Amino acid sequence: MMKKYRVIFLGLMLGFFALAQEPDVVTVTGDRVSLRAAPELNAVLLDRAMSGDQLLLADNSNPEWVGVRPPQKIDFWVNAEYIRNDVVLPARLNVRSGPSLSHGVVAILQRGKELTVRGTLDGWVRVAPPEEAIVWISRAYTDISPPKSTGVDEPILVTGTEAPSIEEESKIVITVESPKPDMQESEKEVVRAVMKDLLIAAVEVAELPEVLEADPEKEQGVAEQFTGTLQPANAILYKLIDPKLDTEVVCYIRGNAEQMAAYAGRLLTLTGKVYWAKGLSQPFLVPEKIEVLKK
């Protein structure tokens, strides 16, 4: 009988311990706050978090940064040689923030770990964030509290006209106006969301102004076509270069990073919707059709 009570008591204690170990909630208190691959300002920018987004605490030891579990929309990378049938082969495998050895390690996985594969690129496999992964957010724009429920929702991208970022490192100003008065509200929301993504993607491109504003005097989201040689502007933004002038930018491209990387250096005709930033003579294009041309 005593042995039975001991088993029950042990079970209760283990249950209590598991409840006590549930991670704290990190609530984001600023708009467009960077999620980075390491606790450093020059680390790879993986995503942006909005005010009110909630993440799970993973590491609270750094005085200036908070380690959190990454949103599932972020992609990570592992060397294709070391997985088979989506399962880790070596005793330890590094998960990196990008598809190269120069990208930082965000997690270390053990043999037998099963991964959710999202694609491949040049000997690397793109995977969903494993639970071991940690990304970093500035402590100045977070509030940490005990969990109020059994889980935390994935951060939600809030669209619409918003106040400028309060994060010191971010210099984006977004003042997106409705392109046309007769547009449906759903169409306006799409324009705002796309424009915000474009400006965030452009903020770390050295050749562009430090402050970007959407141009309220130009019609946004209109279908156009451009021809040029595709070149990377940064990790997620590309540009078309005039094939005759070599240095003249025709437009900037925001598309699927893996797909764009596959076409880098090729002469293309791209068709898609264009969006304009104030003061720039080149638009941003979201491609819908890609045509490869012969030089």
For all residues of the chain together, what is the average pLDDT? 79
Please check whether residues 124 and 140 belong to one and the same domain: no
Query: Is 216 within the bounds of a domain?
Result: yes
Q: Residue 248 — pLDDT band, cuts 50, 70, 90?
A: confident
Cβ(198)–Cβ(159) under 8 Å? no
Answer yes or no: is pLDDT of 168 > 50: no
CA distance between the termini of the chain: 85
Query: Is 166 within the bounds of a domain?
Result: no
Reported pTM: 0.47
- Domain containing 249 equals 185-292
d(CA 125, CA 72): 16
Q: Give me the number of domains the chain comprises.
A: 3
Identify any residues that bridge with 249 across adjacent strands, giving them in sequence order. Answer: 241
Query: Is 171 within the bounds of a domain?
Result: no
Please check whether residues 240 and 126 belong to one and the same domain: no
pLDDT, mean of residues 151-159:
38
Query: Is 94 within the bounds of a domain?
Result: yes
Report the CATH number at residue 36.
Answer: 2.30.30.40
Query: Is 15 within the bounds of a domain?
Result: no
**Strand 249-253 relative to strand 284-292, pairing:** parallel
Q: What percent of the chain has pLDDT over 90?
A: 37
Please check whether residues 189 and 279 belong to one and the same domain: yes
**From 101-105, 200-204, 222-226, 280-284, the region with the lowest mean pLDDT:** 200-204
Please check whether residues 260 and 286 belong to one and the same domain: yes
Query: Is 170 within the bounds of a domain?
Result: no
Report the CATH number at residue 213.
Answer: 2.40.50
pLDDT 10s digits, 71-103: 988 999 999 999 999 999 989 999 999 888 888
Please check whether residues 248 and 199 belong to one and the same domain: yes
Query: Is 178 within the bounds of a domain?
Result: no
Q: Which residues contact 207 (CB under 8 A, 6 or more apart)?
A: 233, 249
Report the CATH number at residue 93.
Answer: 2.30.30
Please check whether residues 218 and 277 belong to one and the same domain: yes
